[in-house]
Structure 1
Amino acid sequence: MNGDLDVRSAARETLPTVFGYIGIAMAFGITARANGLSVLEIVLMSMITYAGSVEFVVVSLIVMHAGIGAIVLSAFLVNARAILMSTVIAPYTAHESLWKNIWLGTLLTDETFALGTSKLNYTDRRLSFSWLNTANVMAYVTWAISSGVGGLLGNLIPNPEKYGIGFALVAMFIGLLYLQVVADKSIKLTIQLSVIGIVAVLMYFGMAVMPQNALLLVVALVGCFAGVVMKRVVK
């Protein structure tokens, strides 16, 4: 990464993440097709819902014949972290218009959020609409097309679970976490590792007493609070 905030810089810096999107989106398409969704339904879900982890959850709920209320609530709980991510990014795009900020927040994902927060380390804590929008749109288009391709290939892999295709999403999150830790020099490594440890422990023990979707939101909030406290206490 560098300090440029133009379209060309965004395209170059987003490209490695785009390749990751291809694998995960195809994995989703294959899984959804194997569970009875048509290619059109797969593409529409990717374009409208546009949330990798949520889409995997929705497919599993559809297979279980869950009601629309359960599906909507689960989607909200799983992706509620997007509210937190948008809140973090918003101060750096406050100079843009309201509609531009709404558009940026609509297409913001875990991956473009990670790219954006990493970019802040090279730009004197600044972001531009052109840079973040380019990253968002590249990710959006790649996800939609790749999930459709995965849907077309789904008939060739009737049982994708046995190949561990669903782990592709987890693998990308692990990679993004690593990149965030090594790139962000504004927060001490000990604080970052402590927050990661707290989140891991809470998730491990919390799954025994709470539904996973609700637990994800609760742990995200607790992790954010712990990080803020430690950042203020540890000098």
Structure 2
Amino acid sequence: MSVTSLRSSSTARAGARAAVPFAAAGFVVAISFGISARAAGMPAAAAIVMSAIVYAGAAQFAAVAILAQGGSVIAAVLAAVLMNGRYLAMGLALGPSLKGGRVRRAMEGQSVVDAAWAMANRGDGRFDRHTLFGSSALQYVTWLSGTIIGVIAGSALPDPEALGIDAVFPAFFLALLVGELRTAQASAVAVGGAIVAVVLGLLAPAGIGILAASLIALVGLRGARAGAEATA
């Protein structure tokens, strides 16, 4: 194995180790999702396949909430797509750091989830792709396995809200936010994005606030990259 391959493998393992707290939190939240999906009338196989393919907690919970309220499958799918709109901005920021042509970059981009994206961020507008792969792989395993447990053993488990599991998800994103406040510019972007997300979350349809905040973060990231290149 070449030195480059060894370094890449080491970086991926380091990314997986750094992701352990997020993977553990995701495991607990995934159990809650499995329970909620079954309570909403979603077939067990559908809930498991959704976690395997969509792999996005916020979007999955939004879809289940709509189904639980009697909404249509189409409405649930549209809500999930809208909630995942932030990945457009995240993907645009990440794209230059991936390898190969469009197809390969698209395949590598499938590993993007919030925590992995944040941990792979070097702080200068660039990303470490092997950190992304390692951290995302571990989180995928715990998210899928947690969903399976929630779906299969959900009836024997306590109510997630009674255990305070519903607080894990906000805490998860708060931890990501705190980890990104490395510079004054990053702090300003984070505060601006948070304000926009909260305001639009109260006034606009579900997902619009997150998408708008993601676009603000993208603009801030581009600015950070331009500044780093100017001083290089």
Q: TM-score range by the shorter chain?
A: 0.7 to 0.9
Instruction: Say if 2:94 and 2:127, in contact at 8 Å, map to a contact too.
Output: no
Between the aligned partners of 1:46 and 1:109, the Cα distance in structure 2 is: 13
Deviation at 1:157? 4.4
Give CA-to-partner distance per residue, 1:22-77, whole Å, 9 cap, x none. Answer: 12211212222333334322211101221100110111111122223322221111
| Map of 1:206 onto structure 2 | 200
Moved over 6 A (4+): 230-233
> Quick one: structure 1 residues 212 and 37, their matched pair in 2 at CA, closer, same or farther if it must change by over 3 Å?
closer
> Quick one: structure 1 residues 35 and 211, their matched pair in 2 at CA, closer, same or farther if it must change by over 3 Å?
same
Deviation at 1:102? 1.7
Deviation at 1:227? 6.2
Deviation at 1:229? 5.8
Which runs of 5 or more structure 2 residues have no equivalent in the other structure?
A: 1-6
User: Structure 2 matches for 1:113-152, cutoff 5 A?
Assistant: 113-117=117-121, 120=122, 125=126, 127-128=128-129, 130-152=130-152
| Map of 2:211 onto structure 1 | 217
Deviation at 1:199? 2.3
Mean Cα deviation higher: 38-47 or 82-91:
38-47
Between the aligned partners of 2:199 and 2:137, the Cα distance in structure 1 is: 37
Instruction: Say if 1:81 and 1:217, in contact at 8 Å, map to a contact too.
Output: yes
| Map of 1:179 onto structure 2 | 179
1:112 pairs with 2:116: yes
SS in 2 for 1:211: coil
Instruction: Say if 2:177 and 2:190, in contact at 8 Å, map to a contact too.
Output: no
Between the aligned partners of 1:12 and 1:207, the Cα distance in structure 2 is: 34
> Quick one: structure 1 residues 207 and 22, their matched pair in 2 at CA, closer, same or farther if it must change by over 3 Å?
closer
1:37 to 42, 56, 62: 42
| Map of 2:80 onto structure 1 | 75
Fraction of identical pairs, as percent: 25
Structure 1 length-normalised TM: 0.79
Which runs of 5 or more structure 1 residues have no equivalent in the other structure?
A: none
Structure 2 length-normalised TM: 0.80
Give CA-to-partner distance per residue, 1:145-182, whole Å, 9 cap, x none. Answer: 1111122332134743344322221111111111222x
1:5 pairs with 2:2: no
Instruction: Say if 1:29 and 1:154, in contact at 8 Å, map to a contact too.
Output: yes
Deviation at 1:134? 3.1
> Quick one: structure 1 residues 126 and 64, their matched pair in 2 at CA, closer, same or farther if it must change by over 3 Å?
closer
Give CA-to-partner distance per residue, 1:82-104, whole Å, 9 cap, x none. Answer: 111111111111x3354432222
Q: Aligned partner of 1:46: which letter? A: S
User: Structure 2 matches for 1:29-68, cutoff 5 A?
Assistant: 29-68=34-73
Count matched residues.
220
Between the aligned partners of 2:143 and 2:94, the Cα distance in structure 1 is: 22
> Quick one: structure 1 residues 70 and 141, their matched pair in 2 at CA, closer, same or farther if it must change by over 3 Å?
same
